[in-house]
Amino acid sequence: MPIVAYIVTVLAGYLVGSIPTGFLVAKARGIDIRTVGSGNIGATNVFRQIGTVAGVFVLLMDALKGWVAFVLLAKLAAVWLYPGASAQAQEALRICAGLSVIVGHNYTCWLHFKGGKGVATTAGVLLAWVPWSLLIILCVWVVVFALTRYVSLASICAAASLPFAAWFTGEGLATVIITAAMGALAIYKHKANIKRLISGTETRLATKKAAPQPEAPKQTP
């Protein structure tokens, strides 16, 4: 039955999204990522507290969750539970899977419904759904980050530009509205960062500084 296909897709998408990649990677190193740095389980905090390799791995895995849910889960639901589904029904299944995987990441049931901010997982969904829109907001992210060195501000600006990118690339009204909701959720999850940006206490992503050179010995007269 169609309703069963949608329910199963939403539940499966949520469970895939709820896998707390950052928490698990940090736990494997003996660290509870929720107790260090910003306390967030996302890639940025992992990058800062554990290192580049771990941070990139978490980033890719969180994005993969979004891609897998949108592409594979929706397809399996259509084949097994909704055979003969129209193109519109299949698209609806994909959107349900995409939205639920983001919610699962943001509010994982395994960590008392406290998860990440959903930026990487949203990017994975967008890669499978509206790749040209993703490319535009990635450009926004890179420019803002290069100018400010704030990951949070770059993510907020990219999220805010998402529906405009979808409109600019010729997507339909429904897609623009859904991407606007996705962007709004990402901005909402950055509310603590917004407060710190306003107060001037937000942490920049620092680059490695060159080692200080020893001072030359002073000449005695």
> Looking at residue 205, what is its pLDDT?
84
Give DSSP secondary structure letters for the chain: -HHHHHHHHHHHHHHHHT--HHHHHHHHTT--GGGSTT---SHHHHHHHT-HHHHHHHHHHHHHHHHHIIIIIHHHHHHHTSTT--HHHHHHHHHHHHHHHHHHHHT-GGGTT-----HHHHHHHHHHH-HHHHHHHHHHHHHHHHHH--HHHHHHHHHHHHHHHHHHTT--HHHHHHHHHHHHHHHHHTHHHHHHHHHT-PPP-PPPPPPPPPPPPPPP-
Distance CA 97, CA 9 (A): 6
Tens-place pLDDT, residues 63-98: 999 999 999 999 999 999 999 999 999 999 999 999
> Looking at residue 210, what is its pLDDT?
35
Distance CA 48, CA 168 (A): 35
Give me the percent of the chain exceeding a pLDDT of 90. Answer: 91
